[in-house]
Chain A
Amino acid sequence: MNLRIGAFGRQETASMVLIAAFFGGCFGMDSHALYADGNASYLVQIIATVQALLLFEGTVWVLRLRGGNDISALIGRSRIKRLLAVPIVLALMLAAMQPLESFLLTMTQYVFTDAKQVIACLYLLPCLFLLTALGAETLMRTARILLPILLLSIVAAVLSGIGQYRLYRIHPIPLGEPFRIFTQAGSAQIRAAAPLLALLCVGEGTQDRMAMRSGGRIGAIAGGLIAAAALFALSMTFPYTQLVDMPAPFYRMLVEVRAENPTLRLDRAVLFLWFSGAILSSAFYLYAASVLFAKSFHVRDVRPVALCMSGIAVTLILVLYYDSKTTAAILERMYRDAWILISVPFPLILLNPKRRKRCAVSS
């Protein structure tokens, strides 16, 4: 099978998980729910990370018992059991859509105010296609290359806003309702656990199970903490009443800094740097979903599946963007704008033979 997983070490694994965890935590959040009653986003992030780590450790423990390296070992080979892979694939696709949707909204609201999102998606799609088709090894190495620059930009963004931090803005902390915080953390699981879930799908590429566990653990903890720190900085910059309806508040923080220091006009460049991190994490999720799908349903080449997944994810983002309420409206939108995106990858997967004929081996 041509799954293009390759081989990657702990640092690459940790870098990819860190980037995915940070962008999921910081840019994929649901502001309405998170800031409805106060400002506990950073607590929610930490709790969600801990929950995700517990799930991950549990899965790795089960893998050790069952003797497998990735999550497909836990999914049986029978037809019924293979269907277990479907919710995981859907969850990963959803996780892939979240940061992209968030960034595209930011872009159309702050950067290209006159542009339609479909135009931005047209630039996004080839990039996603390429990244997912190149495979896990490339994704991990690209993450390792990008990580220092991304970390530098995040740290610079957090530090540059120090002058605007006010401690009183974190009030009220809804500690009186711990159940609510845990509920929010539970709902944040899709973005906190997704990097580790994706890693479990491509675990075959790590040196062994322990390397996968170590890389995942380091990446998730570091990514979760950095995201929590960024959210804490955000909480001290804006009151929660503003954050409820604010798209991409972390970028807004940069814009605020720029307003005070007009010489530092790097906010757009930093935004697009972060955007590359978001594309990378989305590609990671989509690739992991494709690998799981290909393994479960015996598709011999992962590339057509990856192309389809990317096309579907971008199409769904477009559909969400138009905020269509009815199926008819969704179909209408899909027919009008997104048919190109769907019509390209689907024939590819249909053309790909599910099973190859076995070659006669001559003695």
Chain B
Amino acid sequence: MKHVIRNLLQFDRPYRQFELLETEPEGTPSFFARTKPRRAKITPEHGTVQRRLSANLAWLKARFHTDVNADVILRPFKLGGTVDALAVGMNGMADDQKIADFILRPAFQIDVSGVKTADLPTYFCENALSMHETELTDRRDAIVQAITEGRTAILLDGAKEAILCDTRGFVSRAVGEPQNEMTIMGPKEAFTENIRTNVTLLRRILKRPDFVCEFRDAGGTNRTKLVLCYLDGTVNPALLSEVKRRLDTISTDMRLTVGRVEQLIEDYTYLPLPQMLKTERPDRAASAVLDGRIALLLEGCPQAGVLPITIADLLASGEDLDMRQPVGTVVLLIRMIGAVLSTYLPAYFLALALHHPGQLSGEILETVVASRAMVFLPLWMEMIFLLLVFQLVREAGLRVPGSIGHAIGIIGGLLLGQAAVSANIVSTVVLIIVALTGLGNFAIPDYSAQVAAAYYRVLLCVAATLAGLLGITAAGLCVTAVMCSAKSFGVPFFAPFAPVTKHAGHLLFRSRIRNRASSTDPMNPERRRA
């Protein structure tokens, strides 16, 4: 009774009715729940290091919430047995052994008598710290950034500067083989999540002094490290400054990856095709850099983003140039035919079967009619259903671990297809068409381009269902025109084919390797290699 009365009369609500959304700081959402995109507020750390160590300690404790945050290690010690000092590092990010061996041990052994307090940081750096990368700073934001990166900050009582030592020693994945860009010939190394390792992988290939790796913040509150890799003197300066300008506009709370950065700096939001090539192969990224492009590396992202790109890059594989010219041309042609089949074949079949049956020979028409005799779904619905099933099988195969993924592909492809035909859900002819489409789709090397092809495929299927070849013509022309109008960071998507530039090769035919020297033209590099 008491409980009931209390429930009826109590002013506040019980905890179980607590709803997080009601505490939204921006108030009640509008009818369509749309708000203007919120810009992430980045509050820079103002101020400089205090002379008193206790004040710095208090600031660090408050800044890193050390009362609840056990990750931050605050290690007080006496420099030379006389001066109060503090080493601050992030547990797991900084290497304990390095701190003990190269900071604390020399700190205890050094003699600082007779050294002015103001000169202590410099003296300590020059005479005791046996580390290759140290830095003096008086800015608090630099100290905070360094600690979060895994470096160790040393603060000395009475000194106006802190010492930042490179003690980064976190665990990272070893360099492995590419998972999605497998090749038969060529190197087998892939990028990792460690940005330093990735830069090293590129530097091992590009052993030239004009190869620049420009480290900067990717923007946003998380201050993810980003590296712009380019060949100074080769890359178009206008392109470089434009990319930097766009990167400066990034302001987000999100964790940044190459794919997200691409979407934040691209021109055409609603274009299904990617405007930046994402590769996990250092050799491919290095080749792009040599062509006068820019490679983007992001901390925690095992891929490099290459920009600008053209449609030929989406249809190219890392080993194309390793093959002999005639064989390479055949492979390119097959890939192109696969891409066209993957995009147009289901729509063309639908158009012929639904609107222009006279274009099919009598034998084929009989086969189609016979195979569809017991199928209850209309042809267009059957096609869309099977295309959807194909995408389902593909997505399921991608998201599960290796061997199970292959098993899903086999189960989906063979058993499900056979069962669907036996159950009269789909016809064999449509199954063959979708299988051919799937094969063609896999011939496209780039995953983003494969997904874009699937998007266009469905669009064309709808158009073909509505108006047959007229629909395909109208939709196909629109798609081609939109692709022709698109540009990846100023480079037209169909370059060097439309607009035509001086180039070695073709969209369809691979050129001789001797002519590749002038292949940089679409990127309009500063130094053209004639």
Q: Does B439 contact A (CB under 8 A)?
A: no
Q: Which of A120, A127, A145, A273 contacts B484 (CB 8 A)?
A: A145
Q: Does A86 contact B (CB under 8 A)?
A: no
Q: Does B467 contact A (CB under 8 A)?
A: yes
| B473→A272 contact, CB < 8 A | yes
Please measure, in the bound complex, the distance between the C-alpha atom of A68 and the C-alpha atom of B355, giving whole angstroms.
50
Minimum CB–CB distance from B186 to chain A (whole Å) comes to: 31
Which residues of the partner chain A approach B359 to less than 8 Å between Cβ atoms?
A: 265-269
- Name the residue on B nearest A271 (C-beta): B469
| B470→A134 contact, CB < 8 A | no
Please measure, in the bound complex, the distance between the C-alpha atom of A189 and the C-alpha atom of B205, giving whole angstroms.
61
Q: Does A124 contact B (CB under 8 A)?
A: yes
Q: Does B69 contact A (CB under 8 A)?
A: no
Which residues of the partner chain A approach B467 to less than 8 Å between Cβ atoms?
A: 120, 123
- Contact A111 to B356, CB < 8 A, known contacts A12-B500, A142-B481: yes
| B473→A142 contact, CB < 8 A | no
- Name the residue on B nearest A277 (C-beta): B477
| A8→B499 contact, CB < 8 A | yes
* Segment of B3-11, B49-57, B382-390, B490-498 in the binding face: B490-498
Q: Does A353 contact B (CB under 8 A)?
A: no
Q: Which of B361, B470, B497, B498 contacts A107 (CB 8 A)?
A: B470
Minimum CB–CB distance from A255 to chain B (whole Å) comes to: 11
Minimum CB–CB distance from B393 to chain A (whole Å) comes to: 30
> C-beta contact mask, A126-141 vs B, less than 8 Å → 1, else 0?
1100110011011111
| B473→A141 contact, CB < 8 A | no
Which residues of the partner chain A approach B494 to less than 8 Å between Cβ atoms?
A: 141, 144-145
Please measure, in the bound complex, the distance between the C-alpha atom of A8 and the C-alpha atom of B474, giving whole angstroms.
24
Q: Which of B360, B470, B497, B500 contacts A272 (CB 8 A)?
A: B470
| A131→B477 contact, CB < 8 A | yes
Q: Does A9 contact B (CB under 8 A)?
A: yes
| B498→A141 contact, CB < 8 A | yes
Please measure, in the bound complex, the distance between the C-alpha atom of A223 and the C-alpha atom of B355, giving whole angstroms.
32
- Contact A145 to B471, CB < 8 A, known contacts A131-B477, A138-B481, A138-B484: no
| B361→A265 contact, CB < 8 A | yes
Which residues of the partner chain A approach B472 to less than 8 Å between Cβ atoms?
A: 272
- Contact A263 to B485, CB < 8 A, known contacts A141-B498, A144-B498, A268-B469: no
| B498→A12 contact, CB < 8 A | yes
Q: Does A346 contact B (CB under 8 A)?
A: no
Which residues of the partner chain A approach B122 to less than 8 Å between Cβ atoms?
A: none
Please measure, in the bound complex, the distance between the C-alpha atom of A223 and the C-alpha atom of B468, giving whole angstroms.
29
The B interface, classified by DSSP as helix, strand, loop or mixed, is: helix
Q: Does B478 contact A (CB under 8 A)?
A: yes
- Contact A265 to B360, CB < 8 A, known contacts A272-B473, A276-B477: yes
| A145→B498 contact, CB < 8 A | yes
- Name the residue on B nearest A274 (C-beta): B473
Q: Does B476 contact A (CB under 8 A)?
A: yes
Q: Does A146 contact B (CB under 8 A)?
A: yes
- Name the residue on A nearest B364 (C-beta): A265
| B474→A141 contact, CB < 8 A | no
Please measure, in the bound complex, the distance between the C-alpha atom of A157 and the C-alpha atom of B80, giving whole angstroms.
93
| B361→A112 contact, CB < 8 A | no
| B500→A9 contact, CB < 8 A | yes
| B360→A12 contact, CB < 8 A | no
Please measure, in the bound complex, the distance between the C-alpha atom of A279 and the C-alpha atom of B482, giving whole angstroms.
15
| B499→A12 contact, CB < 8 A | yes
- Residue of B348, B466, B470 ringed by the most chain A CB atoms within 10 A: B470
Which residues of the partner chain B approach A107 to less than 8 Å between Cβ atoms?
A: 470
Residues A105-133 near B (CB distance < 8 A): 107, 111-112, 120, 123-124, 126-127, 130-131
Minimum CB–CB distance from A115 to chain B (whole Å) comes to: 9
| B361→A263 contact, CB < 8 A | yes
| A123→B499 contact, CB < 8 A | no
Minimum CB–CB distance from A142 to chain B (whole Å) comes to: 5
Q: Which of B360, B478, B480 contacts A126 (CB 8 A)?
A: B478
| A276→B476 contact, CB < 8 A | yes
Interface size range on A against B: 35 or more
- Name the residue on B nearest A146 (C-beta): B480
The A interface, classified by DSSP as helix, strand, loop or mixed, is: helix
Interface size range on B against A: 20 to 34
> C-beta contact mask, B440-473 vs A, less than 8 Å → 1, else 0?
0000000000000000000000000011111111
Which residues of the partner chain B approach A165 to less than 8 Å between Cβ atoms?
A: none
Please measure, in the bound complex, the distance between the C-alpha atom of A276 and the C-alpha atom of B471, giving whole angstroms.
11
Q: Which of B358, B469, B482, B485 contacts A137 (CB 8 A)?
A: B485
Q: Does A262 contact B (CB under 8 A)?
A: yes
- Name the residue on B nearest A129 (C-beta): B478
- Contact A272 to B469, CB < 8 A, known contacts A134-B481, A265-B361: yes
Please measure, in the bound complex, the distance between the C-alpha atom of A134 and the C-alpha atom of B480, giving whole angstroms.
12
Please measure, in the bound complex, the distance between the C-alpha atom of A266 and the C-alpha atom of B498, giving whole angstroms.
27
- Contact A134 to B485, CB < 8 A, known contacts A141-B498, A142-B480, A262-B361: yes
Which residues of the partner chain B approach A135 to less than 8 Å between Cβ atoms?
A: 485
- Name the residue on B nearest A275 (C-beta): B473
Please measure, in the bound complex, the distance between the C-alpha atom of A146 and the C-alpha atom of B477, giving whole angstroms.
9
| A120→B478 contact, CB < 8 A | no
- Contact A130 to B481, CB < 8 A, known contacts A123-B471, A123-B474, A272-B473: yes
- Name the residue on A nearest B485 (C-beta): A138
| B481→A112 contact, CB < 8 A | no
Q: Does A95 contact B (CB under 8 A)?
A: no
Which residues of the partner chain B approach A94 to less than 8 Å between Cβ atoms?
A: none
Please measure, in the bound complex, the distance between the C-alpha atom of A141 and the C-alpha atom of B500, giving whole angstroms.
9
Please measure, in the bound complex, the distance between the C-alpha atom of A126 and the C-alpha atom of B481, giving whole angstroms.
12
Q: Which of A12, A139, A276 contacts B473 (CB 8 A)?
A: A276
Which residues of the partner chain A approach B499 to less than 8 Å between Cβ atoms?
A: 8-9, 11-12, 141, 144
Q: Does A20 contact B (CB under 8 A)?
A: no
Which residues of the partner chain B approach A265 to less than 8 Å between Cβ atoms?
A: 358-361
Please measure, in the bound complex, the distance between the C-alpha atom of A267 and the C-alpha atom of B359, giving whole angstroms.
8
Q: Does A280 contact B (CB under 8 A)?
A: yes
- Residue of B471, B480, B482, B499 ringed by the most chain A CB atoms within 10 A: B499
Residues A1-39 near B (CB distance < 8 A): 8-9, 11-12
Which residues of the partner chain B approach A279 to less than 8 Å between Cβ atoms?
A: 473-474, 477
| B500→A144 contact, CB < 8 A | yes
Minimum CB–CB distance from A259 to chain B (whole Å) comes to: 12
Which residues of the partner chain B approach A120 to less than 8 Å between Cβ atoms?
A: 467, 470
- Name the residue on B nearest A124 (C-beta): B474
- Name the residue on B nearest A120 (C-beta): B470
Please measure, in the bound complex, the distance between the C-alpha atom of A146 and the C-alpha atom of B474, giving whole angstroms.
14
- Residue of B481, B484, B485, B494 ringed by the most chain A CB atoms within 10 A: B481
- Contact A134 to B482, CB < 8 A, known contacts A107-B470, A265-B359, A265-B360: yes
| A141→B470 contact, CB < 8 A | no
Minimum CB–CB distance from B53 to chain A (whole Å) comes to: 51
Which residues of the partner chain A approach B471 to less than 8 Å between Cβ atoms?
A: 123
* B residues at A contact (CB < 8 Å): 348, 355-356, 358-361, 466-474, 476-478, 480-482, 484-485, 492, 494, 497-500
Given contacts A141-B494, A145-B494, 19 further A-B contacts (CB under 8 A): A12-B498, A12-B499, A111-B470, A112-B355, A112-B468, A120-B467, A123-B474, A137-B485, A141-B499, A142-B480, A144-B500, A145-B484, A145-B497, A265-B360, A272-B470, A272-B472, A272-B473, A279-B473, A279-B474
Q: List 12 A-B contacts (CB under 8 A).
A: A124-B474, A126-B478, A127-B477, A139-B481, A141-B485, A141-B494, A145-B497, A265-B359, A268-B358, A271-B469, A279-B474, A280-B477
Closest 10 CB pairs of A and B: A144-B498, A138-B485, A141-B484, A141-B498, A272-B469, A272-B473, A11-B500, A127-B474, A265-B359, A142-B484
